């Protein structure tokens, strides 16, 4: 599935649309270069799950936890990870045992330790706005894409 | 009273000993020192955030530097939050256990309280109240400090921290990551008039920041320039973009600081965090504070970034006020600064 998003507001609202169809446990990879709007999309997603505060970039903290009604959501940014093994220090095992939604930016840095994605979202620059490509790696992900295409 | 401080909230393992009479006796970061073979055998290349293997050798190293033994320690302070839960639990477990073994009190310290009190470690500390602006890779916050434990968050970044915006923009301009300081260097050769970047959130009231949009603005400026001038861009164009970006961040920080000073009537400003080393920012804030008839303070660089000394100092303030933890420990990754008790 391919979509064009013209500005920040559209990126946030796509995140929100996706969130409304997501049920935990679920792992979503957010791929794309710096400045393609991965965190912006995540912001729309987390807000739609009912979080009221500021959704800050997790680049420095690596992980921002959100305890929300109905589901816990963990927003990762693995950009600063030197080795996938470091995920152990973040307590990833405990988070995987929980029924939670994992949103993961820069997932390639956690290869081997990170759970496989149900849904992969790839963001790319375009002269105006961004192109978003969705692919699924599980039945659950497949179903999500079908749901999104219906709208 | 002599306090051992342990900081493990994120990347750095920092340890220090603070003495109420002698001041800071020793402090060390894992990344700064070579741990001698006698303190732990062959030291392998450790992953960042592997606090478990770093903390104890570092504590021994600090005792060695200060020429003291564990018997002279009267209390232990450790960062209990906010930060990465796994990292926090290591420092808390070690700190609480050592205090139990040594039969001395222990206290969990708020990481940001450590940063706010770091200027008190200097020979010429600011008096209360003061405004603190913390600008680093992980934080951009304006806090009013009325005394120990009396903090009011005036404003903070809603998305990227200022240092993060520097590092990411540097990366977009194809400088090595983290490239904040390199971007600042490149900006020195830039023409300040060629591009103008927005000053986010300065045109509306309030003291919050948003730097994520500047990164995107830099990206768009760079893409447009590439269409005109080709790829890779001439160095001068990169320098011009870097200059416009730096001016926008510095100006925005200055405008918000000035607003905080005017709003609160507090004429003392403390600037801390890695970004406070930026030359243009210091000049700009310094000039502004002179115009406002106030004074700006900058703790020395090693106390601006994460360190054990600030935790030992903040812990001492809490321990001497009679606060301590029961015989258990916990970490609080989302500890709110406003929930701290005043001393």
pLDDT tens, residue by residue, B168-192: 999 999 987 678 889 999 999 999 9
Task: Answer whether A127 sits within 8 Å of B86, measured CB to CB.
Answer: no
Band of residue A97 on the pLDDT scale cut at 50, 70, 90: confident
Of A40, A54, A89, the CB nearest to B87: A89
- Residue B338's pLDDT band (cuts 50, 70, 90): confident
Residues B260-277, mean pLDDT to the nearest whole number: 95
pLDDT tens for each residue of B98-153: 999 999 999 999 999 999 999 999 999 999 999 999 999 889 999 999 999 999 99
Say if residue B341 is preceded by a cis peptide, omega within 30 of 0.
no
B215 and A56 within 8 Å at the Cβ level: the answer is no
CB pairs under 8 A between A and B: 78
Percent of chain B at pLDDT exceeding 70: 94
Report the pLDDT value the prediction gives residue B297, as an integer from 0 to 100: 95
Three-state SS letters, B132-200: EEEECCCCEEEEEEEECCEEEEEEEECCCCHHHHHHHHHHHCCCCCCCHHHHHHHHCCCCCCCCCCCCC
How far apart are the CA of A146 and the nearest CA of chain B, in angstroms? 31
Least confident among B67-71, B220-224, B301-305: B301-305
Q: Which of A35, A56, A86 sits opposite B159 (nearest CB)?
A: A56
| B258 touching A (Cβ < 8 Å) | no
Mean of pLDDT over chain B: 92
Are B160 and A59 an interchain contact pair (Cβ–Cβ within 8 Å)? yes
Strand partners, B15: B6, B28
What's the CA gap between A148 and A28, in Å, rounded? 15
Alpha carbon separation from B336 to A71, B7, B109 (Å, rounded)? 22, 18, 12
Q: Chain A: residue nearest B174 by CA?
A: A34
Quick one: average pLDDT of A66-83? 89
Q: With contacts defined as CB-CB under 8 Å, which chain B residues touch A90?
A: 49, 84-86
Structure confidence at residue B47 (pLDDT) = 55
Distance between CA atoms of residues A120 and B95, nearest Å: 41
Cβ contact B159–A65 (<8 Å)? no
Contacts of A82 (CB under 8 A, 6+ apart): B47, B48
Q: Name chain B contacts of A59, Cβ cutoff 8 Å.
A: 137, 160, 164, 168
Please give the pLDDT value at position B48: 56
Q: Does any CB of chain B come closer than 8 Å to the CB of residue A50?
A: no
Rounded mean pLDDT, B77-98: 93
A129 near B CB under 8 A: no
For the segment B314-327, the average pLDDT, to the nearest whole number, is: 97
Q: B50–A89: do the CB atoms touch at under 8 Å? A: yes
CB-based contact A54 B158, cutoff 8 Å:
yes
Residues from chain B contacting residue A57 (CB–CB below 8 Å): 159-161, 164, 212
pLDDT at position B41 over 80:
no
In this complex, do A34 and B10 lie within 8 Å of one another by their Cβ atoms? Answer: no
Split at pLDDT 50, 70, 90, the class of B36 is very low
Helix, coil or strand: residue A122: strand
pLDDT at B215 over 90: yes
Q: To the nearest whole number, what is the mean pLDDT of chain A?
A: 92
ipTM entry: 0.90
Q: Which residues of A touch B83 (CB under 8 A)?
A: 61
């Amino acid at each position: 599935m391919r979509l064009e998003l013209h500005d920040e507001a559209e990126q946030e609202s796509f995140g929100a649309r996706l969130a409304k169809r997501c049920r935990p446990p679920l792992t979503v990879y957010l791929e794309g270069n710096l400045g393609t709007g991965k965190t912006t999309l995540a912001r729309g997603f987390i807000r739609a799950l009912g979080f009221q505060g500021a959704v800050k970039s997790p680049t420095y903290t690596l992980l921002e936890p959100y305890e929300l009604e109905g589901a816990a959501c963990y927003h990762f940014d693995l950009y600063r990870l030197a080795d996938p093994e470091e995920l152990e220090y973040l307590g990833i095992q405990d988070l995987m045992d929980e029924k939670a939604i994992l949103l993961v930016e820069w997932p390639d840095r956690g290869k081997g330790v990170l759970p496989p994605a149900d849904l992969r979202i790839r963001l790319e620059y375009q002269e105006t706005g961004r192109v978003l490509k969705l692919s699924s790696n599980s039945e659950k992900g497949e179903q999500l894409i079908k749901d999104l295409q219906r709208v | 009273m002599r306090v051992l401080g342990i900081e493990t909230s994120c990347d750095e393992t920092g340890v220090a000993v603070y003495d109420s009479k002698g001041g800071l006796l020793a402090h060390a970061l894992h990344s700064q020192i070579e741990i001698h073979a006698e303190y732990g055998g062959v030291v392998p290349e450790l992953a960042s955030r592997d606090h478990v293997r770093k903390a104890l050798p570092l504590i021994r190293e600090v005792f060695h530097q200060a020429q003291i033994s564990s018997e002279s320690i009267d209390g232990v302070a450790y960062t209990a939050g906010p930060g990465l839960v796994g990292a926090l639990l290591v420092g808390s477990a070690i700190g609480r256990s050592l205090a139990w073994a040594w039969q001395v009190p222990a206290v969990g310290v708020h990481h940001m309280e450590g940063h706010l009190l770091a200027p008190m470690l200097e020979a010429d500390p600011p008096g209360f109240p003061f405004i603190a602006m913390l600008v680093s890779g992980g934080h951009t916050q304006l806090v009013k400090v009325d005394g120990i434990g009396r903090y009011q968050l005036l404003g903070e970044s809603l998305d990227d921290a200022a240092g993060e915006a520097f590092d990411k923009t540097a990366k977009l301009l194809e400088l090595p990551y983290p490239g904040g300081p390199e971007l600042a260097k490149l900006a020195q050769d830039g023409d300040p008039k060629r591009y103008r970047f927005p000053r986010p959130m300065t045109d509306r009231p309030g003291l919050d920041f948003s730097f994520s949009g500047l990164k995107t603005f830099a990206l768009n400026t760079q893409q447009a320039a590439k269409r005109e001038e080709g790829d890779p861009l001439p160095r001068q164009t990169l320098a011009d973009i870097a200059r416009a970006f730096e001016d926008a961040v510095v100006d925005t920080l200055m405008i918000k600081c000035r607003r905080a000073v005017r709003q609160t009537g507090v004429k003392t400003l403390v600037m801390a965090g890695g970004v406070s080393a930026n030359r243009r920012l210091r000049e700009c804030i310094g000039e502004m504070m002179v115009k406002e008839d106030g004074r700006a303070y900058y703790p020395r660089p090693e106390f601006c970034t994460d360190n054990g000394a600030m935790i030992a100092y903040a812990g001492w303030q809490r321990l001497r006020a009679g606060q301590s933890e029961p015989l258990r420990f916990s970490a609080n990754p989302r500890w709110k600064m406003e929930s701290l008790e005043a001393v």
